[in-house]
Amino acid sequence: MNATHSNPRPAPVSSVLAVTAAVAVLLALAGEGTGVGTWLAVELAGLGAVTLGAVAYRTGYRIVGLPVALVGGVVCAVAIGGFGSQSGPLSELLRLLPGFLGLAVLAAALVPVRGDGSRSLVKLGTGGLFACVVLAGLFRTADVTLLLGTAVGTIVAWDAGEHAIGVGEQLGRRATTWRLEATHAVGTALVGVASVAVVHFARGFANDGLSLASFAMVFVAVVLLTVALRW
Amino acid sequence: MSDARRTHRWRGILVLTLGAAGVGLLAKRPLLLLLSTLGVVYAVYPRLSSVSEPRLDVERRVSEENPQAGTAVDVTTTVRNVGDRPIFDLRVVDGVPPALAVTEGTPRFGTALRPGERASFSYTMEAKRGRHRFEAATAIARDPSGGHEVEVEVETETEVDCTTDVGEAPLRSQTLDVTGQNPADSGGSGTEFHQTRSYRRGDPVGRVDWNRYARTGELTTIEFREEQTASVVVVVDATPGAYRGREGEPHAVVAAVGAAQQLAETVLDGQNHLGLSVFGRDDLWLPPSSGRRHRLRVQELLATHSAFEARPPASETTVDVEAQVETLLARLSDNTQLLVVSPLLGDDVVEAVQRLEAERHRVTVISPDVTVSDTDAGGRALATIERDSRLRRLRQSDVTAVDWETSEPLSATLRRRTGVVHG
């Protein structure tokens, strides 16, 4: 298929969806206090300015667009730095910082700041979010539902970001694609919800006192199962 | 058809969740182990959903089928799912004619379609001179997970005809000043009196001069001037070298085919016989003939034959023009005139024309100018000089060569040239 066309940038609907999912994951993981919401709002404002600036720059308003985007970038940096340097429990800061960085990277990949959208940056950004999820599991700050829910949210964010780039490559930003994007995102989210429900259902049968050894066995079984699935 | 190909886009999730589970194992956090369930589920997801080749019906509506050059043409393309399964992820790229540029909107569209459902999208393109056929629309269907995709092409005949009558074909005067009727010196059947001669056995009774027989008792036969229809073969230069053009304009082959379409109409309108041939990657020979069906055949060939394809041939394609000229010569009957439409970007066509002229076929060359005469354009300027020298060489060997500036309608150029041609 002919992939050369005028505007191969990530599709807007999925891009917005990806960033929204990422923000929701961060907010859900933050829990109470430590001003996460405030700094997140500042970061989002910065990202909004970067987006506006980039769009203005590309539509010909270079003199306005460039400074707006730069200011937005600075605001983002301030938000991340501000969150990281505030006083509070170190574990709280440590486990959310990758998410703050990841959100900025994800947004930068989808705006896109440079080029036509980068799949690697989407992976990197959602990878930061996923690190937050894993850290929440390590620090035991999340229960099963929250942990699985935020993991699904991260997957949805990645999927929407990747899909936005794929649709952008084939159809471009100006094509009408919201229906296709919505269908795809709903599919991914439904699968996530279903799998969380299945885990819940299964845990209702299992007893809590499972030894680590048996967990290790389960893990090996899971690995074998996936190997069997792939080949 | 193309089989579904796997995109492997979910692979990373599995790796990541298994990694998280590994961390959970090391740090003795059973909860993290549960994350691998997600990985497994999302690895299975593309396995469970599948995509079959979409069955689509594409319909195009063009706001104006015979537009003036330079006007905007709105195209509305409707895609309908005629299969019995929903298509969750459908991406369509319409086959805009290669020579036309989309000025507004985009010929690309993405949607999801239930069985029987339709969706449409529109865009605007600018009409350029010539007859333009839409290519097949490309459709890519994916399953909901995006794990498989199938690509199909959907063909729908749509055409934008932006040709105008050229008025008069620049045929060589000896044969065609009186269009279609070439008075020959041999007597035969016709309408104009030529001579009488004594009756020979087998002469038609109707041509016996009965008045004279009554008067003198001598059987004579009246002969009329025989009328010959001129036979013209239009030859288009579609050699790989001709697939060049100015920046932002269609290349010379598009212009040449457009010109050939107009010339063919004019020649046929003049009651002449018309044939068609090409110097290019594929061989084409349509013997001179006339009539309504022949006219349709000519236009159909010009619009659809692979030799005239607007897409340039692969770079390694070579065309042996010399051999094609010999083939053409073998096919031509005596007295057949040739109208060669060529941008004159190579010497081979010049030699071909000279060879044809040497074989006593009258050749007229119509040359769309796609070179840039801008002096600071370096290499292109050289192409202009070379082309000028080719035109001069042709004229020196008594070939009528019409230099056609493509931004101006062919008819205008020819009208201006008429004095030269017939004078």
The Cα of A71 is separated from the nearest Cα of chain B by a number of Å equal to 32
Chain A 23-82, residues with CB within 8 Å of chain B CB atoms: none
Give yes or no for B98 touching A (CB within 8 A). no
Q: Does the beta-carbon distance from B37 to A133 stay under 8 Å?
A: no
Q: Which of B246, B233, B199, B398 is nearest to B327 (CA)?
A: B233
Domain ranges in chain B are 5-48, 56-162, 184-228, 229-422
Exposed/middle/buried for residue B226 (C-beta within 10 Å: 0-12, 13-18, 19+): middle
Asked whether residue A30 is assigned to any structural domain, the reply reads: yes
Q: Does the beta-carbon distance from A137 to B31 stay under 8 Å?
A: yes
CA B271 to chain centre: 24
The Cα of A16 is separated from the nearest Cα of chain B by a number of Å equal to 17
Q: Does the beta-carbon distance from B121 to A175 stay under 8 Å?
A: yes
Asked whether residue A172 is assigned to any structural domain, the reply reads: yes
Asked whether residue A51 is assigned to any structural domain, the reply reads: no
Asked whether residue A75 is assigned to any structural domain, the reply reads: no
> A181-208 pLDDT, tens per residue?
999 999 999 999 998 988 888 777 666 6
Question: What residues have CB less than 8 Å from B362, skipping those under 6 apart?
Answer: B172, B174, B175, B337, B338
Question: What is the spatial distance between Cα A11 and Cα A161, in angstroms, rounded to a whole number?
Answer: 9
Exposed/middle/buried for residue B124 (C-beta within 10 Å: 0-12, 13-18, 19+): middle
CA dihedral for B178, B184, B187, B189, sign (positive or negative): negative
Residue in chain A lying closest to B153 (CA): A1
Chain B 47-86, residues with CB within 8 Å of chain A CB atoms: 47, 49
Question: What residues have CB less than 8 Å from A183, skipping those under 6 apart?
Answer: B88, B89, B112, B144
Q: B193-222 burial, b if ≥16 CB within 10 A, otherwise e?
A: ebeeeeeeeebeeeeebeeeeeeeeeebbb
* Residue in the structure block whose two tokens are 């930061």: A128
> In 3-state terms, what secondary structure has residue B268?
helix
Q: Does the beta-carbon distance from B34 to A144 stay under 8 Å?
A: yes
CATH superfamily of B229-422: von Willebrand factor, type A domain (3.40.50.410)
Asked whether residue A64 is assigned to any structural domain, the reply reads: no
Asked whether residue A56 is assigned to any structural domain, the reply reads: no
pLDDT of residue B423: 30
The Cα of A29 is separated from the nearest Cα of chain B by a number of Å equal to 15
- Tally Cβ neighbours within 10 Å of residue B369: 22
Q: Which residues on neighbouring strands pair with residue B139, listed in sequence order?
A: B92, B152
Asked whether residue A76 is assigned to any structural domain, the reply reads: no
> In 3-state terms, what secondary structure has residue B227?
strand
Which regions in chain B score pLDDT beneath 50?
1-2, 173-184, 419-423
CA dihedral for B213, B217, B219, B224, sign (positive or negative): negative
Question: What residues have CB less than 8 Å from A190, skipping those under 6 apart?
Answer: none
pLDDT of residue A23: 93
Give the DSSP letter of residue B177: S
Q: Which of B96, B106, B117, B154 to mutate to test the interface with A (most CBs of A within 10 A)?
A: B106
Domain count, chain A: 1
Give yes or no for B41 touching A (CB within 8 A). yes
pLDDT class for A2, splitting at 50, 70, 90?
very low
pLDDT of residue A108: 92
Asked whether residue A128 is assigned to any structural domain, the reply reads: yes
> A40-74 pLDDT, tens per residue?
899 999 999 999 999 898 888 888 889 999 999 99
Q: Which of B310, B307, B258 is nearest to B101 (CA)?
A: B310
> B312-327 pLDDT, tens per residue?
887 777 888 888 888 8
Give yes or no for B5 touching A (CB within 8 A). no
* Residue in the structure block whose two tokens are 């036509």: A116
Give ipTM to 2 decimals.
Answer: 0.84
The matching CATH number, chosen from 1.10.3720.10, 2.60.40.10, 1.10.10.10, 2.60.120.10, for B56-162 is: 2.60.40.10
Q: Which of A156, A191, A229 to mutate to test the interface with B (most CBs of B within 10 A)?
A: A191
> B47-61 pLDDT, tens per residue?
887 788 889 999 999
pLDDT of residue B230: 75
A85 versus A15: the higher-pLDDT residue is: A15
Joined tokens for residue A170: 């084939």
Domain of residue A145: give its range.
Answer: 12-34+88-230
pLDDT of residue B176: 36
Question: What is the spatial distance between Cα B190 and Cα B187, in angstroms, rounded to a whole number?
Answer: 8
Q: Does the beta-carbon distance from A6 to B111 stay under 8 Å?
A: no
